[in-house]
Amino acid sequence: MTDTTARVHELNLYRQYFDLVAAGTKTIEVRVKYPHLADIAVGDTIRFRIKGTDEICEVKVKRVTEYPDFEALLDGEGPSHVNPTASREQQLANIRAIYLPEKEALGTLAIEIELFVAVPQSKD
């Protein structure tokens, strides 16, 4: 029997990327294929947080695709889905400034996300 329960993953984001996710314009999150992300699956929730703050943004995982490196990921997903405010070359430089080559060698994940829309609560 397999566990199909959706999980919540807590991940940190830099402010510039957090703002794009919160605006709904960043639809692909890029991560290195670390062991703690191996079980991320469609239907899971990711709770993004700006480190050191209480600001959070929750998204639903729509798809997870593995790539051998960041170049293949950007080519496969389209840079505008990863960061609509930067060119492919800028994005590749920015991602590689975050992740060293030995981390990229683990493989990369393109996580397609969809922003949760808050449902207004009725006041009784």
pLDDT for 84-117, tens place per residue?
999 999 999 999 999 999 999 999 999 999 998 6
pLDDT at 1 over 70: no
pLDDT value at residue 42 = 97
Using alpha carbons only, give the angle 92, 95, 97 rounded to the nearest 5 degrees: 105
- How does residue 3 score in pLDDT terms, banded at 50, 70 and 90? low
pLDDT value at residue 118 = 56
Amino acid letter, 16: Q
Question: What are 61-79's pLDDT values in tens digits?
Answer: 999 999 999 999 999 999 9
91's CB contacts (< 8 A; 6+ apart) are: 74, 79, 82, 83
Beta pairing class for 8-12 and 28-32? unpaired
Q: List alpha helices for 1-124, DSSP H.
A: 15-23, 70-77, 79-82, 88-98, 101-104
pLDDT at 13 over 70: yes
